[in-house]
Structure 1
Amino acid sequence: MANEVNGEEFDEETVEREENEIEQVVEDFVDEPPVRHDECPSSEDEDEDEDEEGEPRRKAKAKVPVKHGAGVLYKGQRFLNGVAFKDSVLDYALNTGHNIKQYRYDKDKIGFICVGGEGCEWKVYASTLPKDNVWKVKSLHRGAFMLFVDKIIEEPEYYMPMKIEELVHEKWGFTVSRPQCQAARNKALKWIEFENDHMFARLRDYAAELVHSNPDSTVEIETVTNTIGQEEFNRIFICFDNIRRTWKQSCRQLIGVDGCFLKHKVKGQLLVALGRDADNAIYPIAWGAVQVENTENWLWFVRKIKHDLGLNQGLGYILVSDRQKGLISAVQTELPQIEHRMCVRHIYGNLKKNHASRKEMKSLIWNLAWSYNEAEFEQRLDRILCYDAESFNNTISKAREFAFVPMLEGIRRLAMARIAKRSVISLAHKGICTPYVTDFLKVEHKNASLCKVTRSTNGMYEVKLSSCTYRVSLERRTCTCMKFEICGIPCEHAYGVMLQKKLAPENYVCQWFRTSTWRRNYRDGLVPVRGAEFWPKTSAPDVHIPPAPPQPGRKKITKADKKRKKGVNESPTKKAPKNKKRIMHCGICGEPNHNSRFHTKQQASQGPPRVPSQVASPAASQQVASPASSAASGCHVLHGYEDMC
């Protein structure tokens, strides 16, 4: 159902459609796998760089499929909202060929009837239940506009009028004109622009609802006043209390920080702080959005993390990030005592720019990162010198394409779904340690079984493997290779001692990888948030969308910038008028320089209409041919597109 806002018609179901999209993203959520030690992670761009013959291969543009339901309707069927019911009716009509129209437009009652033929009594009616806010099909008698609106909102650059026309004809056999597709696309873009402005203005109401649903959480919005007195968005920070307390109580003192671009109308950067759970998988801690990734905003984000997590000066904590200058400066200022490490994936990405032809560079870099002692590190570094003679962002990639408030809501729901899903998995897991430890020890078992163990005094053991000896202490949980101390899981040398003494290696795993800790990681989840109609009404002024900020970095140099600048006394270059390759003629009057679509405007600007000339150009004579001749030639004439036939 549509209403008028500022003289334009907009869909009242925009919020419900955004809700459906977020629900689909949460439903399609695939949990991220834990990070494995001593394994070189795969990169998405690695597999597509070359074909089977080693030649460079261009990446094809990803095509987003048009997803619809099975088209099944039955009496008593329930739906989350009215939009879901309408989509199911549309699927049913496409599958069965019914020509239907909507006859009931109430907010709590919707009905459709068949108008495809005389005597057809097909009719369906659904309404909301009095106790539950869900829709139910009350009656069903058996006897193209909204088709692509959701996909146009998600992929506006892909679903152009020509593509919509092709997909409708291929999938359902319908014939729609290109102007109809263009009108539908334009209306969808108007909806999303209206929805952006409306939802963005209530950003403070959304923040109030987050704090109301999850007390003691930190939700901070900062705005700046523009020249006309309006408050424009500057940045936002979100950290839920349950997630914050869980990380401080049951997660390792490890924080990963990164940023990624926003993909919608509000331009800027999404900043995230992540931890690791007992299964070594991603655990989101806090996130925020800023206009520009610079030193000032990173300093603000790091300061908020420091205060919420109680990091003090950072002593005893580890932070992993890329080499962004603003972030490095912010960490040195706010957390001077923290151990700041650099992300191996970003280091390899920088090396790949200058060593793209070095196929073994990736494995050498990751093997260097998996070094557990100085001797091993130096040895692997020499291999690189002789040779030389990002996961959470992927998870929220779909959410980043939504409007700003739905984007924040999508990230929150993904965090809530991740906690709920892993809570079920951890409670069902049987064993002392997490599956990550099981896989870790499975890899170590092969070398552990080859170890030759010699016992010494004071609980010490000498282990020989591959002509090299190591000193192992099970009581202190140490080994010469230092892998035992760094990973917190027995290395192959300590595992070899345990195999000889018939000890369970799980009993020597540190507390961070125990199943009990894993269950504590996901014991307290997020409290669900209510819909927009239930948000608290704050007295604060509306938040307005800021203009796109200038992004840091070197500006793109155009061809005009490369040309020599003319002096003051030099005459500028005079451009010659472009020669037209084809002269357009009107299909109505036969005159040049306009077509039939703009015939009325042309006549209004030139005065009274003129009689079409009997002798015209060959193109014009073909265009003014009779409809019968057009039909005889097999050309399907659309009004406004005669010159394309």
Structure 2
Amino acid sequence: MKFESAAQFMAAMKNHAIWSGFNFKLKRSCETKVEVICSTDCPWRVYASWCRMEEAIVMKTVNDRHTCSRSAKNRQADYKWIATHFLENFRVNNYWPMGDMTREMNHKFGITVGRTTCYKARSTARKMLQGSLDDHYHLLPSNVAELKKVNENSTFRLLLDTDTPDSRVRFRRLYICFESLARGFLEGCRNFIGLDGCFLKGEVKGQLLSAVGKDGNNQMFPIAWAVVEGENEDSWTWFIVLLKHDLGIADGIGWTLMSDQQKGLGNAVAKLLPNAEHRNCARHIFANWKKRGHSTELLKNIFWRTVKCTKPEEFRKLLRLMRSIKPEAARDFDDVGVHKFCMAFISEWPKCETIDNNICECFNSYILPYRGNCIIDMLEDIRSACMQRIVRKRDLFSDSSDQLCPRIRYLVEENKLKSRGCTIKHAGHYQFEVMLFGDGYVVDLRARKCSCRYWALRGIPCPHAIACIHWTKDDPKNFVSDCYKRDMYQRVYHNGIPPMNMRNMWDEDELTYVYPPLVKRQLGRPKMRRRRDTIENFNLNRHGFTSKGMQKQCSLCQGLGHNRRTCNRRCSQAINMGSQDVIETSRLEVDGGDLQLPELSQQVFRQNPSPITHERGEASSSATKNLRKSVCKLLGRKKQVEQVQGGNSLEQPVYEAIIGASGPMYNCTPGVPRRTTYLGSYRGQFVTIERGGREWQEQFGSSSGMSSSTADNGDK
């Protein structure tokens, strides 16, 4: 057999050793000679050297006879070999779980692999598939050039940092806004933009700033995004300046912006868009308001009723109610600025009553699988996801003839049901007085207004207006704002993002060599999840409720304060009972102290003792470790075993102990056949002691005495 080089020969030997299940070591190795032998005293040996006639490494001596046994731990299966062998698995799933990797190695090769090796293998495989961090940043100029080649009128701005300590050109910021997205937003969406930032989870940390709009179906529509070093006033100012240029926004007249309470963003909006309406997310305001000590359920309900009420008169009543309950809460509520997050004071022109920033949160969640990739892969995945999303949304009306978007149609039908309880009084000139549940409202169909202000805020007729529309024998869809119609929706998704060649077709820019930004590495393992706020309920069950404040009840013993996982009786129901006799023992004395085994119910099996298992499988390693700590003092010491029934006691040494919760614990009496198994509980753990076989059972199984029998081990 011939090989191109010694490295190829070693790779073949490594594959052979892993498949065969043995370890080898190098006896000699150089560029022209390689000899490998078995790591044990086995005669297996392979020698290969360079052959001038063949001009290759040729195997010259082979002794393929093994006398050693198969090994479950193979040092040849290192992380590099695992990464190379399972490269296609990592290509499908970059985050292939450690448990699946170890099970695959055990199932396919019969080899046990540690978690550290699996972590290194996954990291190596990702570098093989995606390239190194430096390679990604080196390709950024080429990526921007390819984007400009395909999207000529789009905006792609790469900002580099030349003033660095090592005098290298390093990446700082990148802004991306496709022409099709900007044009679709201007032609079919409302003048409402959500601004937010999210953390990147890759090797180099940073933040992704985004501007997101709302389409006619009340769903998110991404406009532009940028990768920056952090969320501050300087980065937001740079982002908003470019966004203003792409959308043609002057000083902000007729525009509404939504954001959280980020100070840098607020200062940038006030400086660049002074005449725009700037709303703040009510959810973030509530979180900060609650941290000031206003955390009761009553104050929470009053807060959201005050925020979501649309009439100024009702708002003032609710604020007085809050002030009567807790004046400090009302003062903190007023200090934020009610015109920023209360529906009673927001403007009506954008036809959007939103007081939270959920559209940006939707976009952040949409790109969540890509935020942990390197920068080139992340940007390409986001571009590809937006390109495919436009095509899917464009086909939304392919099988429908309705003039309204699906979500808007649902709201109209819901308001139709609510309008059945309205009492109408016609005042002429398409003006009406409407009574609903004792409350009166004025509706003007020509002005498309209702005194409840829902129609003016949303652009969708409220139940009072729909009752009047039905009185005039008209269709409510004719009174819905045009931004929710089919034609406007199709304008949004009419222009798609053109496809682009992958990196193998890019022209490499040799003039600009970009390096990754300098980032100080933090101590500890990198965090992949954001820090949740204390008021967030992140321990919810499948029904959406939290277990905080609830008392646990065991489903086995019906006791309170614990569950079935920590119940002392969890193992007793999983024992496979065979034909048995019962012997009772009370305690083991250890060095003058008693090791109490309360209510030891000890089984004497006439056949092979069945292993003890939990209901959910075999005992965990942590339970075995804890039990080992509790009982290991018995090893190598003399014990006095006292049986209650006979009162006999004898001194005997313990020579061997196998500590575990899934099998026999002790093999202690020399000369006594190993067939009887004693079961008991100590500190919530179950103890198993092997004693004797069939003949020992016949002699001592039902008697009270206990002695050193020399009987045979018995049948298995």
Q: TM-score, normalised by structure 1?
A: 0.59
Rounded Cα–Cα distance in structure 1 between residues aligned with 2:304 and 2:391: 33
Rounded Cα–Cα distance in structure 1 between residues aligned with 2:224 and 2:101: 43
Structure 1 position 309 matched with structure 2 position 247: yes
Rounded Cα–Cα distance in structure 2 between residues aligned with 1:377 and 1:172: 68
Structure 1 position 205 matched with structure 2 position 142: yes
**Pairing partner for 1:281 from 173, 198, 219:** 219
Rounded Cα–Cα distance in structure 1 between residues aligned with 2:258 and 2:210: 12
Moved more, 184-193 or 402-411: 184-193
Note the residue ranges of structure 2 that are not aligned, 5 or more in a row.
1-6, 8-84, 328-360, 523-657, 660-716
Rounded Cα–Cα distance in structure 2 between residues aligned with 1:352 and 1:172: 55
Opposite residue 495 of structure 2, the aligned amino acid is: D
Match of 2:189 in 1: 251
Match of 1:344 in 2: 282
Match of 2:480 in 1: 509
1:366–1:217 distance in 2 versus 1, CA, 3 Å: farther
Higher strand share: 2
Opposite residue 485 of structure 2, the aligned amino acid is: R
Rounded Cα–Cα distance in structure 1 between residues aligned with 2:259 and 2:174: 21
Rounded Cα–Cα distance in structure 1 between residues aligned with 2:390 and 2:208: 21
Aligned residue pairs: how many? 409
- The aligned runs of 1:519-598 (5 Å cut-off) are 519-538=490-509, 540-548=511-519
Match of 1:265 in 2: 203
Opposite residue 340 of structure 1, the aligned amino acid is: H
Rounded Cα–Cα distance in structure 2 between residues aligned with 1:216 and 1:454: 56
Match of 1:154 in 2: 95
CA drift of 1:518 comes to 1.0
Percentage of pairs with the same residue: 31
Opposite residue 440 of structure 2, the aligned amino acid is: T
> Alpha-carbon deviations, 1:250-274, whole Å to 9, x = none?
1100000000111001211100000
> Alpha-carbon deviations, 1:558-601, whole Å to 9, x = none?
xxxxxxxxxxxxxxxxxxxxxxxxxxxxxxxxxxxxxxxxxxxx
Rounded Cα–Cα distance in structure 2 between residues aligned with 1:189 and 1:326: 36
1:486–1:189 distance in 2 versus 1, CA, 3 Å: closer
**Pairing partner for 1:223 from 160, 179, 188:** 160
CA drift of 1:239 comes to 0.4
Match of 1:577 in 2: none
Q: TM-score, normalised by structure 2?
A: 0.53
Rounded Cα–Cα distance in structure 1 between residues aligned with 2:303 and 2:270: 26
CA drift of 1:498 comes to 1.4
- Where 1:428 maps in the other structure, the secondary structure is coil
CA drift of 1:175 comes to 2.7
Opposite residue 200 of structure 1, the aligned amino acid is: Y
Match of 1:191 in 2: 128
1:550–1:175 distance in 2 versus 1, CA, 3 Å: closer
Instruction: Assess if the C-alpha contact under 8 Å between 1:445 and 1:495 holds in 2.
Output: yes
Opposite residue 433 of structure 1, the aligned amino acid is: L
Match of 1:167 in 2: 103
CA drift of 1:538 comes to 3.5
- Where 1:340 maps in the other structure, the secondary structure is strand
Rounded Cα–Cα distance in structure 2 between residues aligned with 1:446 and 1:285: 36
1:461–1:274 distance in 2 versus 1, CA, 3 Å: same
- Where 1:216 maps in the other structure, the secondary structure is coil
Computing the radius of gyration over CA atoms, which structure comes out larger, 1 or 2? 2
Moved more, 279-288 or 381-390: 381-390
Match of 2:175 in 1: 237
Instruction: Assess if the C-alpha contact under 8 Å between 1:152 and 1:188 holds in 2.
Output: no
Rounded Cα–Cα distance in structure 1 between residues aligned with 2:520 and 2:247: 30
CA drift of 1:375 comes to 1.7
- Where 1:219 maps in the other structure, the secondary structure is strand
CA drift of 1:166 comes to 4.0
CA drift of 1:243 comes to 0.8
CA drift of 1:502 comes to 2.3
Rounded Cα–Cα distance in structure 1 between residues aligned with 2:183 and 2:119: 51
Rounded Cα–Cα distance in structure 2 between residues aligned with 1:386 and 1:173: 73
> Alpha-carbon deviations, 1:284-313, whole Å to 9, x = none?
000001102111111111111111111100
CA drift of 1:234 comes to 0.6
Instruction: Assess if the C-alpha contact under 8 Å between 1:271 and 1:289 holds in 2.
Output: yes
CA drift of 1:191 comes to 3.5
Instruction: Assess if the C-alpha contact under 8 Å between 1:252 and 1:512 holds in 2.
Output: yes
Opposite residue 255 of structure 1, the aligned amino acid is: I
**Pairing partner for 2:395 from 420, 424, 432:** 424
1:392–1:352 distance in 2 versus 1, CA, 3 Å: farther
Opposite residue 253 of structure 2, the aligned amino acid is: L
Rounded Cα–Cα distance in structure 1 between residues aligned with 2:130 and 2:481: 52
**Pairing partner for 2:113 from 162, 177, 192:** 177
Rounded Cα–Cα distance in structure 2 between residues aligned with 1:182 and 1:320: 41
Rounded Cα–Cα distance in structure 2 between residues aligned with 1:282 and 1:392: 7
Rounded Cα–Cα distance in structure 2 between residues aligned with 1:151 and 1:427: 32
Structure 1 position 466 matched with structure 2 position 437: yes
Opposite residue 146 of structure 1, the aligned amino acid is: L
Structure 1 position 455 matched with structure 2 position 396: no
Rounded Cα–Cα distance in structure 1 between residues aligned with 2:322 and 2:195: 28
